[in-house]
Amino acid sequence: MLEPAEINLQKYQISDQLGFLPAQPPLSRLPHSSYQIWEDTLDGVSSPCNYESIRQQMDEMPVLSTEGLATEPEWRRAYVVLSMMSQLYIWAGYQPSKKLPTSLTLPLLEVSAHLGIEPCASYSSFCLWNVRPIPAQEYADPEVYCNPENLAIINSFTGTKDEEWFFCVSASIEVIGGRMIPKMLDAIDAARDGRGRQVTEFLDELAGCLAQIDATLARMYEKCAPLVFYHRVRRCLTGSKSMGGVWYEGVDRPGDLRSYAGGSNAQSSLIQLLDIVLGIDHSNEGGNGACTSPSSFHRDMRSYMPGPHRDFLELMSRVTNIRPFALDHPAGSDIRAAYNRAVGALGQIRQRHLVMAARYIIAPALKEKGKDGVEGVRGTGGTDFIPLLKGARDRTIARISSGVCRNC
């Protein structure tokens, strides 16, 4: 088995400074002139006022070859542009479209296959490959990324500060946590060698990192209003699963529909990595149907991650050993206390996320649809929020704090 010390993060397209964000800021435009029609079309969608003509413009676009894409940043930029245009095509207008035109489906499938990611808009489209520091700089400074005030998104669906802030906060969290990845590998090595003091120091540092993530997440309220998110931004992130699927013209037979989840922070590799490293058990709570299989949900979300990131999570699942190493020590030991602090800090993030989900989705849905109409309201990635209304939040947090829950 590969030793943690032998793991090459670059192989998995992971930066030791920025984590799952690219080591250099993403391209804001494809350099090859043949792709300017893609860029110009997406640039033209500056607000919902232009949505009436967007489908016609995309229907009339030529089918472009992907042969002009030369570098990984260019492939990623192509994915951002094509997936965002596809999302706009589906959701522009009063009724969602049940088909995507060939001008989008053929290149999107080729680009997605190259990147190892589902051919639809995802967390990578909106956040990982769509956020840059301001002012623009050639090399990314992690300290700059740790403050969402220093970031901006390249392309926007709504043109609102609320949408931009939502993803800039997410990107800052990615970097705050991502800088711990090399230390995670060192701690796994230390646990393998029985170096308890080093593992304890790592867990204490991780708890501090998680507290910083929690504080950054709390900043979401500063510039992202719940009603703006619910009524304007959320629709643009919704997946095709919510409307029965979409026909990919030129690829599938008419009537053969593809169903994909919406762009969601559940597709963040960092969030799943934190669970893996701390050994959080995503077992199914079961019960009266309030909780479907969380383990299945989290595994499904991995297909919306870039292939190398997904491979890294699979690798880390095989080598992680922090939890059993900590539990091999007495209950009153320093390492057990440090482990509990780290898990408790992760639980606090989960709790804040649940409260935010209630404020940004459940509360507006209740106001709009009433108590009966809110049944079936889901997050953009497919998360069922109804358990929150039935008192599942406290049970979830209790299980997370004990290191055995996988429900968020």
- Binding residues for heme b, by number, are 353
Give phi and psi for 201, each to the nearest 5: -60, -40
Half-sphere exposure of 44 (CA within 13 A, CB side): 16
Buried b (16+ CB within 10 A) or exposed e, 89-127: bbbbeeebbebbbbbbbbbbbbbbebbebbbbbbbbbbb
Give the tokens for residue 45. 């969608």
Q: Are 59 and 98 in contact (CB under 8 A)?
A: no
255: left (phi over 0), alpha (psi -120 to 50) or beta: left
* Residues in the annotated binding site: 353
Give the tokens for residue 260. 């994909």
The DSSP element (H or E) to which 151 belongs, if any, is strand 151-153
Amino acid at residue number 297: F
- Collapsed DSSP state (helix, strand, coil) of residue 11: helix
Q: Are strands 246-248 and 151-153 parallel, antiparallel or unpaired?
A: unpaired
Give the tokens for residue 326. 């900590």
